[in-house]
Amino acid sequence: MNSETFSTPVNLFEERLNELFKKKTTVRESDQVLLLVSMILLDNPNNTDLVDTYNLLGLEDFVKLVHLFDGRTVRFPTSGEIQEMIVLAFCYYYREVRGLDWDEIRAILPWDISSVSYGSRVKKLSAFIRGKITEIMNDTVKEVVK
């Protein structure tokens, strides 16, 4: 464990926690305290996934994540949904950015893809991206005009 729990503390609590670990605990004691944080999270049956997240991220990044969502409920995609997003991203890239046809895309990608299914999803994604770009441009123009 580093002498500082938070490499760049963003509030007084994080600064004080850094000082506490720096001055008053050994590495072994620090690890024990952090393990206790895991146990406190695990004590609530609704937090079992949070313990895994805490253990994966470490204290500093876990606290950043908690600050980011600040009590809101978050739904993460499933592994299958992430895989579909990745395949869609490749399809979009090869179709819209590189201008390949579906036979060329199928030859490149190691997955069995339907040009009908992914074709409609690529069009929908393209419309969404164009809409976001237009929104950003409009916001930029409004800021410049102010």
Listed by start position, the domains of the chain span 12-69, 79-145
For 89-115, b/e burial (b = at least 16 CB within 10 A) is ebbbebbeeeebebeebbeeeeeebee
pLDDT string in tens for the chain (146-residue length): 445 567 888 888 777 777 766 755 455 666 666 666 666 666 666 667 777 888 888 888 988 998 999 989 888 888 889 889 999 999 999 999 999 999 999 999 988 899 999 999 999 999 999 999 999 999 888 888 87
Q: How far apart are CA 12 and CA 15, in angstroms?
A: 5
134 CB neighbour count, 10 Å cutoff = 10
Q: Between helices 48-57 and 27-43, what is the axis angle to 10°?
A: 150
Q: How far apart are CA 48 and CA 30, in angstroms?
A: 22
Give the per-residue pLDDT at 97. Answer: 92
Helices (H), the chain: 12-23, 27-43, 48-57, 59-69, 79-92, 102-108, 115-145
Q: What is the dihedral of CA 6, 9, 15, 19, to 10 degrees?
A: 30
Distances in Å between the Cα of 141 and the Cα atoms of 13, 43, 127, 133, 144 are: 40, 51, 21, 12, 5
| pTM, 2 dp | 0.61
| Three-state secondary structure call for residue 98 | coil
Give the per-residue pLDDT at 2. Answer: 46
Residue among 58, 80, 40 at smallest CA distance from 1 = 58
